[in-house]
Structure formats: structure tokens, C-alpha cells
Amino acid sequence: MPRFDGREWNEIRKISIELDIVPNAAGSAIFKFGETWALAIVDGPKPGKMSAGFEEGLLRVRYDMLPFSVPERKKPGQGRREIELSEIIQRALKPAIFLDELHGSIIDVYVQILNADAGTRTAGINAASLALALAGIPMKDLVIAVAVGKVGERIVIDLNKEEEDYDSEKLKNDPEKSKFIEYYGEGKATDIPVAILPSERKFTIIQLDGEIERENLKKALNLALEKSIEIREIMKKAILNKYESLKLPRI
């Protein structure tokens, strides 16, 4: 028997990508992992007022979730969680960008979550990565993010909200859901969102919420590495299709 939503342990939710949806922005993209939808918009590079003489460019990220993106309406605006996630997404993206080629310029990345079912930071990083590439920002690779983790006793990829909230004790009293304990096993969930530079097999962030044994952590991170290459192919294809469909004038 498979996961709550019918996936296998190593199966990512359906990925959908839309590119360049905001005409006035340098680059924009929507990246979806199933019901988790992130929109990223890049503004820049633009000259910074105070940055004359700075060697490096500056990358700023603002993450937020729209009030209707979650079942129980979220208070509008950034709270502590949103400020922290902005910082995390900035740290995930920064190692990919050749900021030293952007002498004092500023790049603003706006990440808006349109619909949330867990994994908003990972979908947000992927959307931002695409929008940065479309804006022509010099990068060594696309940064690819995905969550891995342990739900009960099982290693899985790309946890949805139901899996992030897993608690076998609570499910025992649920006549509809208790059968899933057979698949996941006893315990709660550990979520490990990561961001990866696939070409270098390097992690730019690893976060961990919960507990996991060393061997299982290794297995989970290897799964993330392997899947990051698959996700990158899907993202690369989306960019290539976009440029193929542009009708260039014959010279």
C-alpha cells in the first residue's frame, strides 16, 4: 500500500512550471509540487544607491504566503516564520550566483506562495532559480530544492502536509487513516528540506526538523541528490522549450 496520496516512497509530487508570466519583471516563474505553488519574481540587477565601489552584488529575498494559500486564513504580511524563510532561501541561492560579476548591483527576489501543502520553501527556491535564470543572472547551475524525510519509520521524498503532521498515535483513533500506519510505521515525521547544486553534488542548505538516525539521514540525502538531477532536467527542459518557442527573426 502506498503513501496517503498514492505515491511511492521515492516519488515526487507532480511538477508544473510556468515561465515569464509577469511582463514587467526581469524574470518570473511559477513552480508547483502538487498543491504547493510558488511564484518567484526577479527585479534587477539594478544599481544600488549606496553601493558605488562595492565589489559584489547584493541578493535580497522576500518570502511570503498569501492569506488564502492555507486552509485556515493566514494573517497578511511577514511574521517571524516568513522572515526566517526569506533568509533560508537567500542562503540556498547565493552560492550559485556569480555575485562578484555584479559589482554593487542589487537583485531582489520576491517569492509568493499561492497555495501551500508543505514544501513551500523548496518550491520557492526552485521558482526563484528559474526566475533568476530567465532574468539572465550569471549562475553556475540551477539550485534545486526538495524535501526528504522520515515519516514513521519510512524514508520518503517531497512530504506533503499530511505527512509532515504524521503521528501514528493520533492516527490509531482515525478509522479512515489508521490503515496507513501499516505503510509508514510507528512514530512521527522528520522533515529535511535541502537545496542542491547538482553539477557539483553540493548542498547549499540542509535543514532538519525532528530526529533521524545517521544511516537513515545518509539514505535520505542520497535520495535528494539523485532526485535533484531529475528535477533539474525538468526545469532545464522548461527553459529550453521557452526559448525554442520564441520566433527569432531570420537574418
Q: Which is nearer to ligand ADP, 25 or 224 (CB)?
A: 224
Task: State the binding string over 139-158 for ligand ADP (x if CB under 6 A, else -).
Answer: --------------------
**Binding positions for ligand ADP, 76-135, rule CB under 6 A:** 81, 116-121
Give the shortest CB-16-to-ligand ADP separation in angstroms. 17
Q: Which is nearer to ligand ADP, 105 or 122 (CB)?
A: 122
Give the shortest CB-217-to-ligand ADP separation in angstroms. 18
Out of 161, 177, 202, 242, the residue judged to bind ligand ADP by CB under 6 A: 161
Q: Which is nearer to ligand ADP, 102 or 212 (CB)?
A: 212
Out of 72, 176, 215, 244, the residue judged to bind ligand ADP by CB under 6 A: 72
Written as one letter, the residue type at 143 is: V
Give the shortest CB-81-to-ligand ADP separation in angstroms. 6
Report strand pairing: 58-65 vs 105-115. parallel
Q: Which is nearer to ligand ADP, 51 or 115 (CB)?
A: 115
Q: Name the one residue in this structure whose C-alpha cell is 555575485.
A: 99
Give the shortest CB-68-to-ligand ADP separation in angstroms. 11
Q: Which is nearer to ligand ADP, 28 or 120 (CB)?
A: 120
Looking only at Cα atoms, what is the longest distance across the chain? 70
Q: CB of 142 within 8 A of CB of 236?
A: yes
Q: Which three cell numbers stand for residue 222?
A: 542520497
Tell me if 12 contacts ligand ADP by CB under 6 A: no
Which residues form the interface with ligand ADP (CB under 6 A)? 70, 72, 74, 81, 116-121, 161, 164, 193
